[in-house]
């Protein structure tokens, strides 16, 4: 998709975003190209179009948008980290991505060579009798990614949670501008490899829109199948993770084994358990026709086996008891903070990028939107369960109706000059955005990735308040957020 480009004065930016939001649009992302400007992506869910607002900056400051538009707060913190742009009046400006290791090092994406000096990493201090702080991470007890959680608690309840991320910062966005674009898909996938398909797809769509090419039908079908296999495998992993946190060991073992079957689907389709290297600009790289029948058979077998187990898990009174009302996120807050994906739909926000933006065979496919109203951990579990079932339907349907023909379209070796490409994909966590801007020589000038977790980390911090400390893992798992996708 190619977003329309307009110039907006930086003083007008806040009003302009607000007007668009009032018309039912979404704020996609705010970033910069080299520190001399702001770029704001607005998404129109009704028409499936996007608008890129460019605002030139004089100097390196501008009035912060966070005070009136809370969902901007994280983007503005990242602007300060990566570009040395200071949003004046930001209520809590502290690093979101870079940590102490970067003190004295130049802001990585800024054109001017300005050194990272401000380093206020202090946590919000909750005062009062009996308040104590609990620090968790960055190295956690289980096998998960690193991040620090600072919980301020009163007795057994959490009063405030402050997040500290950035431990996995690898310079992905900068790397994507340094290498030949033909090899960029491997780096784009590694932004978060549990979301490899969605990342590869968003990357491919962005490149294809710059090149003005359309992948063949067969490739589009296989892309949908790949995306749904990834959703299936990761939703099963998340539901399994939830059963671990609830202490349901035999259930967890069963989901672990069945996830293995879902990974076999991925193996059969692409030769990789994470579908790495499967999707490329122009279509897909390769696939083995003779394995499709086995893929179909295994998929049906998995469906037959897992659906009754999901039902058993859902009906377990202990599951209901632990999850009902836990980690509540209201619909209004979910909207205000731009929450996406499972977490949004569990709080009655009917947004699924598969229904709004063209990618793979969407939105031409008939798809029932999974929606819950309670906004708690149970709702998020129910959404995942429903989506597992939908994914089975979609894979089945697409395998049956798979059109014949080529799997890749010819892709020009040169990227169009001075152009913008945008890929929006509904990853298993929610809306994933890849935005590519090219320069006057057809080189990638700026590559922006907005992982769904960027929106949803704040939702977790809100939802965990007033919950018991020992329910924190359950809350965290129910949101299932990516650290590497956020930190990049």
CA distance 312 to 387: 17
* 225 near another protein, rule: CB under 8 A: no
> Tokens 């996007």 — which residue?
50
- Rg of the chain on CA atoms, in Å: 22
Q: Work out which of 85, 196, 306, 427 binds another protein, going by CB under 8 A.
A: 196
* 468 near another protein, rule: CB under 8 A: no
* 394 near another protein, rule: CB under 8 A: no
Compute the least distance from the CB of residue 139 to another protein, in Å.
5
Site for another protein in 66-85 (CB under 8 A): none
Compute the least distance from the CB of residue 360 to another protein, in Å.
21
Q: Which is nearer to another protein, 24 or 142 (CB)?
A: 142
Buried b (16+ CB within 10 A) or exposed e, 11-29: eebbebbeebbeeebbbbb
Compute the least distance from the CB of residue 116 to another protein, in Å.
11
Compute the least distance from the CB of residue 320 to another protein, in Å.
13
Compute the least distance from the CB of residue 203 to another protein, in Å.
13
CA distance 422 to 206: 4
* 484 near another protein, rule: CB under 8 A: yes
Compute the least distance from the CB of residue 459 to another protein, in Å.
20
- Part of the chain binding another protein (CB under 8 A), chosen from 5-13, 97-105, 428-436, 442-450: 97-105
* 309 near another protein, rule: CB under 8 A: yes
- Part of the chain binding another protein (CB under 8 A), chosen from 5-13, 122-130, 188-196, 364-372: 188-196
* Chain centroid offset of residue 321 CA: 29
Compute the least distance from the CB of residue 243 to another protein, in Å.
12
Compute the least distance from the CB of residue 385 to another protein, in Å.
16
CA distance 413 to 252: 47
Compute the least distance from the CB of residue 484 to another protein, in Å.
5
Site for another protein in 272-301 (CB under 8 A): 272-274, 276-277, 286, 288, 291
Compute the least distance from the CB of residue 475 to another protein, in Å.
19
* 174 near another protein, rule: CB under 8 A: yes
- Part of the chain binding another protein (CB under 8 A), chosen from 271-279, 329-337, 432-440, 458-466: 271-279
- Part of the chain binding another protein (CB under 8 A), chosen from 21-29, 52-60, 211-219, 269-277: 269-277
CB 148 within 8 A of CB 163: yes
| H, E, C per residue of the chain | CCCEEEECCCCCHHHHHHHHHHCCCEEEEEECCCCCEEEEEEEECCCCEEEEEEEECCCCEEECCCCCCHHHHHHHHHHHHHHCCEEECCCCCCCCCCCHHHCCCECCCCCCCCECCCCCCCCCCCCCCCEEEEEECCCCCCCCCCCEEEEEEECCEEEEEEEECCCCCCCHHHHHHHCCHHHHHHHHHCCCHHHHHHHHHHHHHHHHHHHCCCCCHHHHHHHHHHHHHHHHHHHHHHHHHHHHHCCCHHHHHHHHHHHHHHHHHHHHHHCCCCCCCCEECCEECCCCHHHHHHHHHHHHHHHHHHHHHHHHHHHCHHHHHHHCCCCCCCHHHHHHCCCCHHHHHHCCCCCCHHHHCCECCECCCCCCCCCCCCCCHHHHHHHHHHHHHHHHHHHHHHHHCCCCCCCECCCCCCCCCCCEEEEEEEECCEEEEEEEEECCCCCEEEEEEECHHHHHHHHHHHHCCCCEHHHHHHHHHHHCCCCHHHHC
Q: Work out which of 183, 366, 400, 401 binds another protein, going by CB under 8 A.
A: 183
Q: Which is nearer to another protein, 26 or 322 (CB)?
A: 322
* 171 near another protein, rule: CB under 8 A: yes
Site for another protein in 314-333 (CB under 8 A): 316
Compute the least distance from the CB of residue 266 to another protein, in Å.
10
- Part of the chain binding another protein (CB under 8 A), chosen from 210-218, 309-317, 371-379, 418-426: 309-317
Compute the least distance from the CB of residue 155 to another protein, in Å.
25
End-to-end CA distance of the chain: 23
Q: Which is nearer to another protein, 6 or 272 (CB)?
A: 272
Q: Which is nearer to another protein, 23 or 105 (CB)?
A: 105
Q: Which is nearer to another protein, 136 or 159 (CB)?
A: 136
CB 201 within 8 A of CB 284: no
The site for another protein, by CB under 8 A, has a size of: 63
Q: Which is nearer to another protein, 139 or 293 (CB)?
A: 139
* 445 near another protein, rule: CB under 8 A: no
Q: Work out which of 61, 86, 193, 419 binds another protein, going by CB under 8 A.
A: 193
Question: In terms of DSSP bridges, do strands 26-31 and 37-44 run parallel, antiparallel, or are they unpaired?
Answer: antiparallel
Q: Work out which of 4, 6, 304, 312 binds another protein, going by CB under 8 A.
A: 312
Residues in contact with another protein by CB under 8 A are 98-102, 105, 108, 138-139, 141-146, 166-172, 174-175, 178, 183, 186-187, 190-194, 196, 237, 250-251, 253-254, 256-257, 259-260, 263, 267-268, 271-274, 276-277, 286, 288, 291, 308-309, 312, 316, 482-484, 487
């Amino acid at each position: 998709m190619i977003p329309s480009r307009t110039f907006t004065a930086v003083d007008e930016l806040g009003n302009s975003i607000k007007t668009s939001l009032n018309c039912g649009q979404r704020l996609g992302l705010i970033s910069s190209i080299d520190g001399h400007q702001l770029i704001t992506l607005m998404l129109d869910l009704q028409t499936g179009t996007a608008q890129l607002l460019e605002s030139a900056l004089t100097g390196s400051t501008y009035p912060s948008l966070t005070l009136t538009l809370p969902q901007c707060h994280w983007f503005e913190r990242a602007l300060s980290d990566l570009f040395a742009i200071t949003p004046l009046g930001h209520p809590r400006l502290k690093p979101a991505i870079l940590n102490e290791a970067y003190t004295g090092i130049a802001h990585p994406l800024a054109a001017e060579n300005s050194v990272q000096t401000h380093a206020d990493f202090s946590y919000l201090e909750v005062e009062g009798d009996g308040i104590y702080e609990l620090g968790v991470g960055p190295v956690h007890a289980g096998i998960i990614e690193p991040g620090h959680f600072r919980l301020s608690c009163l007795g057994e309840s959490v009063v405030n949670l402050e997040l500290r991320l950035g431990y996995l910062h690898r310079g992905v966005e900068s790397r994507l501008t340094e290498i030949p674009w033909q090899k960029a898909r491997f780096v784009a996938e590694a932004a978060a490899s549990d979301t490899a398909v969605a990342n590869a797809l968003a990357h491919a769509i962005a490149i294809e829109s710059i090149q003005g090419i359309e992948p063949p039908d067969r490739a589009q079908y296989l892309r949908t199948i790949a995306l749904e296999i990834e959703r299936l495998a990761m939703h099963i992993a998340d539901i399994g993770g939830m059963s671990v946190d609830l202490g349901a060991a035999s259930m967890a073992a069963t989901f672990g084994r069945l996830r293995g079957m879902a990974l076999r689907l991925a193996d059969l389709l692409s030769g990789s358990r994470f579908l790495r290297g499967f999707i490329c600009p122009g279509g897909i790289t390769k696939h083995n026709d003779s394995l499709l029948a086995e893929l179909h058979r295994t998929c049906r077998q998995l469906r037959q086996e897992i659906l009754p187990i999901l039902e058993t898990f859902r009906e377990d009174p202990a599951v209901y008891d632990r999850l009902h009302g836990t980690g509540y996120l209201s619909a209004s807050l979910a909207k205000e903070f731009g929450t996406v994906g499972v977490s949004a739909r569990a709080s009655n926000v009917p947004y699924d990028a598969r229904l709004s933006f063209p990618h793979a065979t969407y939105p031409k496919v008939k798809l029932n939107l999974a929606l819950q109203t309670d906004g708690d951990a149970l709702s998020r579990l129910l959404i995942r369960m429903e989506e597992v079932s939908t994914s089975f339907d979609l894979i089945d349907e697409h395998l049956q109706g798979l059109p014949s023909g080529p799997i890749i379209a010819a892709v020009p070796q040169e990227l169009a000059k001075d152009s913008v490409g945008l890929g929006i994909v509904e990853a298993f966590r929610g809306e994933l955005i890849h935005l590519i801007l090219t320069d006057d020589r057809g080189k990638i000038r700026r590559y922006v990735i907005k992982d769904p977790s960027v929106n949803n980390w704040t939702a977790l911090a809100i939802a965990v308040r007033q919950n018991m400390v020992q329910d924190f893992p359950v809350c965290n798992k129910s949101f299932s957020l990516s650290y590497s996708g956020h930190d990049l």
